[in-house]
Amino acid sequence: MAAIKAATYTLDHGSARETKARQEIDALAILDRQVDQLVRLVDDLLEVSRIRTGKITLRLEPVDLEKVLRQAIETAQPELDRGRHTLKVDLPNDQIVLRGDLVRLIQVFANLLNNAAKYTDPNGKIELSAERFGREAIVTVRDNGIGIPSDMLPHIFDFFTQVDGGERREKGGLGIGLGLVRDLVKRHGGSVEAKSDGQGRGSTFTVRLPIFEDGPP
């Protein structure tokens, strides 16, 4: 909110004409980013409320995992671009079909990619891979970012948990996204785990989901 207030002050109290024009462009860009951030935070809080009151309903149908992941990448692309990160994608040649809610599964993997992008220093490396193992699809998101302290790993998927409170607040996080990931994955009959060798050593998130055996959608 402080950033929005500062931007509106700039719009009202600009200096000379040319300088004012530049200030207005910068202020509008700040307003745009801050409004987007507030919308995301409100949406996340509404999701938490729906989960806690049992109001989330999944629309289950056969879905192509590659389609899910490609759309998740599109959703997370602005955050990836903002950090100037390199994203390496490794998907299997054979189709993997899940029985799930397309929108919610996209949300799961977009949240993981956004999380990796936010907590990796600029020009970082992020990897997204998928494979079939028996009757499970395994999707991994790996980064070379700030990592997770060992004492925080058991709590990383708890709502409102923050690895570094100051840094997360600075980046606009409330510690909600990973909690949503865990809940939605569980509702699909799957599991998610996080691994890290500690702060500054990057993180790896692995999602396991049951494969739909009745054929492609």
Whether this model's pTM surpasses 0.95: no
Domain extents for the chain?
2-52, 61-210
What pLDDT, on the 0 to 100 scale, is given for residue 211? Answer: 96
Mean pLDDT, rounded, for 166-184: 69
Q: Which segments of the chain does DSSP mark as H helices, in order?
A: 2-12, 17-52, 65-82, 102-118, 165-170, 177-187
* Residue 202 near residue 196, CB atoms below 8 Å: yes
Token look-up 């390496």 returns 88
What pLDDT, on the 0 to 100 scale, is given for residue 126? Answer: 98
Nearest-angstrom CA–CA distance, 183 and 160: 14
Q: What is the mean pLDDT of the chain?
A: 81
- The highest-level CATH class for domain 61-210 is alpha beta
Query: In terms of Cα–Cα distance, which of 117, 143, 137 is closest to 205?
Result: 143
Q: What would the pLDDT profile of 47-81 be if each residue is shown by its tens digit? A: 666 666 666 788 999 999 999 999 999 989 989 99
Strands 125-133 and 191-195: unpaired
Please tell me whether residue 209 adopts helix, strand or coil conformation: strand
